[in-house]
Amino acid sequence: MENTAAKKVMLSGIQPSGDLHLGNYLGAIKNWVARTDEFDNYYFMADMHTITVRQNPADLRRRTLEQLAQYIACGLDPEKNTLFIQSHVHQHAELGWVLMCYTMFGELSRMTQFKDKSSKHKENVNGGLFTYPSLMAADILLYQPDFVPVGEDQKQHCELTRDVAQRFNSIYGDVFKVPEPYIPKAGARVMSLTGPDTKMSKSIPEGCVFLMEKPEDIMRKFKRAITDCDTENCVRFDLANKPGVANLMSIYAAVTGKSYEEIEREFEGCGYGKFKPAVGEAVVEALRPIREETERLLKDKAYLEGVYRSGAEKAEYVANKTLRKVYKKIGFVAR
Ligand code: TRP
């Protein structure tokens, strides 16, 4: 029998504020799948976080379910990973409030994501946008994880989570496990196809390949991908001088399993004109089964409902234990 108690706990979430793309898949979900057996895993759709920016209700609902279907279609087995929707586990909101009272105004003011988003949405700089890191700390600390796999952009929030956990523990004793961020190596980052100096993201759609995108659109984006304005026209891995080619090579390597040396040999003497569509085709083939399986799952509403219900039950059991302990420590009367 498996001894789940001995496994380290891993937790992460993605906001269903946009459609999932190749960066989410190669940079996050694919790694989650690979770690299924090694860890006790919790992955959730961070729907509560999305409303810090105004959302269209129908789109939010569609994307949340689609994200769940995509997690499964990417290979995350819901029998082995706890997959749930954040708003289904009310302990997130409750611990979020508590932790807001242990997070300092100054700390929140220093968050670069807050500075970015508040300058982008000047008309809606709301309290949730500001206190978002306290909710994120609650998301994490409820499950007492050892590791939190996140991208570079979330490192600051993870560090704040550690500070808040330590602050709380120093007042009340060891309530929270202080988690470690788990940041994949630089190579695993997928950059925009239109400019390899920014991370692939939905905000630059022409540089972004969505998991549900049609093959012809994917091919178009790869054919137009920025390579480098060197005269060499040669497929060689050189991150500093040829970041566009390096990005395409790392995508190709990730979807085919080939090494950089193998790729250089494969395209020796070919130039970018042959290389770019080859990467496109490999991505199309890698995404095809994911897209088809997602479409199939989305038609099976009863199955998806079963997955998110049982995920929420499992998550809630753990989350509730932590929340009860917190309430007791801070002096709330037990009902
Ligand atoms: N803030 C993360 C993002 O925008 C999403 C997120 C919310 C998250 N809660 C989390 C990630 C807890 C890891 C753990 O990408």
Alpha helices in the chain (DSSP H): 22-24, 30-34, 47-50, 57-73, 91-100, 105-109, 112-120, 127-141, 155-172, 215-223, 243-256, 260-266, 272-299, 301-330
Ligand 1 atom closest to the CA of 132, numbered from 1? 1
Q: Give the right CATH number for 205-295 from 3.40.50.2300, 3.60.9.10, 3.40.190.10, 1.10.240.10.
A: 1.10.240.10
Give the pLDDT band (50/70/90) at residue 8: very high
Global pTM? Answer: 0.93
Distance of CA 136 from the midpoint of ligand 1 (Å): 6
Asked whether 12 lines ligand 1 (CB < 6 A), one says yes
Helix (H, G, I), strand (E, B) or coil at 44: strand
Quick one: average pLDDT of 206-225? 96
pLDDT value at 11 more than 60: yes
Residue 1: per-residue pLDDT: 44
Catalytic residues: 117, 199, 202
pLDDT at 186 over 70: no
Q: Counting Cβ atoms within 10 Å, is residue 64 exposed (0-12), middle (13-18) or buried (19+)?
A: buried
Question: Collapsing DSSP states into helix, strand and coil, what is residue 13?
Answer: strand
Atom of ligand 1 nearest to the CA of 151: 15
92 and 48 Cβ atoms separated by less than 8 Å: yes
Q: Token pair of 82, please?
A: 């706890």
- Tens digits of residue pLDDT in 35-83: 999 999 999 999 999 999 999 999 999 999 999 999 999 999 999 999 9
For the stretch 301-319, pLDDT in tens is 999 999 999 999 999 999 9
- Cβ atoms of residues 22 and 283 within 8 Å: yes
Ligand 1 pocket test, pick from 10, 116, 150, 189 with the greatest ligand atom count within 8 Å of Cβ, gives 150
Per residue in 74-85, pLDDT (tens digit) is 999 999 999 999
Report the percent of the chain where pLDDT is more than 70: 96
Q: 140 CA to middle of ligand 1, Å?
A: 9
134 lines ligand 1 (CB under 6 A): no
- Does residue 13 have its Cβ closer than 6 Å to ligand 1? yes
* Of residues 57, 47, 78, the one with CA closest to residue 313: 78
Please tell me the predicted confidence (pLDDT) of residue 6.
82
Architecture of the 8-188+300-330 domain? 3-Layer(aba) Sandwich (3.40)
**Ligand 1 contact via 49 beta carbon (within 6 Å):** yes
52 lines ligand 1 (CB under 6 A): no
The three-class DSSP label of residue 14 is strand
The domain locations on the chain are: 8-188+300-330, 205-295
